[in-house]
Amino acid sequence: MGVEIERKFLLADSSWKHNARGLVFRQAYLSTDPDRTVRVRLVEVEADKRQGWVTIKGRATGPVRAEFEYPIPAEDAEAMIETLCLDSAIEKTRYRVDHAGDVWEIDEFSGANAGLVVAEIELDSAEQPFASPPWLGLEVTDDPRYTNARLSVEPFTHWPS
C-alpha cells in the first residue's frame, strides 16, 4: 500500500527562493471527503509539455496517510478538471529546494489562494528527524485549512483576517 508521510509549514521569509525554479500546477478534486480525497493534477513539466496525474488519498493521522498516484494523459486530466471536478481548481507554482540533504517542496499559490506559500517535506517515517531551514515558519501539518482539498473549497483569500 502507498503511504505518504508529510509535514507542512508556513514560511518565515522568502530567502528560499534564491535560484529556485518552479513548475506550474493546476489541480482540482473529484472528492474532498477527508476519508477519500481524489485529486486530478495537470503539471507544466516544460514549456510545451504537460503531464496529468490522478491521486487518491486516505484520511491523515498526523503526518501519515494512504496515497496512490498514477500518471494519466494530460488531455484526460484537463478534461476531468473542466468537466468532472468539484469547486474551483487550485493554481500554484511548486519549487523544489534542497536543504541539508532533504528536498523541500514549496508551493506558492496563485488565483483564489494568492498570498499563501507552504513548504512540505516527505519523510520515510513520522519520527524521522530533519534539519529546519532558516526560512521555515509555523508548522501547519495538523491544521486541515492548509490541505489543498480544503483550499479548493475555502480559498485562502476568503479566510477571515
- Kindly report, residue by residue over 114-136, the tens digit of the pLDDT: 999 999 999 999 999 999 999 99
The reported pTM is 0.93
**Residues tagged active-site:** 29
pLDDT digits (tens, 9 = 90+) for 142-160: 999 999 999 999 999 999 9
Distance CA 120, CA 107 (A): 8
Domains belonging to the chain, first-starting first, are 3-158 (2.40.320.10)
CA quadruple 153, 154, 156, 161: dihedral, nearest 10: 170
Bridging pattern class, strands 64-72 and 86-99: unpaired
